Amino acid sequence: MSTLIAVQALLSTISGVLMSQMSFVGKVGISLIYREYGLFRLWWKTALLLFALQLALIFILWLVRRISGRRLSVAIILFFLLVALTGAYFTYIDFTTTSHRLMKANFHVGGYLTWVAWLLTCFYFLVACTRSTRASTTTDDTYMQEAKQKKDQPPTD
């Protein structure tokens, strides 16, 4: 999990840097009209926001995996995977049909990279759920075999 967090920190930093490299029109728009988006002008603020969102996602998926069963965990992870794919699609629509198309390619790549990082987290937890289930099944099978062997042995009185 520490590797996932480190990768998310790196991807958030790269995405923050890319999103801060918006076009001149974007910088003027944020300075004059859309002041609430001012954090996108500074790469480190953007990176911190994106990293906080990724950490929240990691925590939610970790908690789901710890508390619920395998089927429910996989269903919830697949739901978050669908959210990421939907978010990426709407980001694409937004970047191609609204005034955000003027924001420069680096800004767009930073936005898409955010969704790629989200997908990476979901895939990580999908693989972790599958592996933990296989490991617990193997342990259960071993336990059952040992119990059967003890049952088949004659008592030693």
Average pLDDT over the chain, rounded to whole?
85
Query: Which tokens is 72 given?
Result: 């429910």
Confidence at 27, pLDDT banded by 50, 70, 90: confident
Confidence at 22, pLDDT banded by 50, 70, 90: confident
Higher pLDDT, 4 or 33: 4
Least confident of 7-16, 20-29, 108-117: 20-29
Q: Using one digit for the tens of pLDDT, what is the confidence trace for 30-75?
A: 778 878 877 788 899 999 999 999 999 999 999 999 998 889 999 9
Higher pLDDT, 156 or 125: 125
Higher pLDDT, 22 or 34: 22
| CB contact set of 11 (below 8 Å; sequence gap of 6+) | 54, 113, 114, 116, 117, 120
In this prediction, residue 5 carries a pLDDT of: 95
Averaged over 128-132, what is the pLDDT?
74
Q: Are 110 and 91 in contact (CB under 8 A)?
A: no
Q: Are 95 and 101 in contact (CB under 8 A)?
A: yes
pTM comes to 0.77
Residue 23 phi, psi (nearest 5): -70, 165
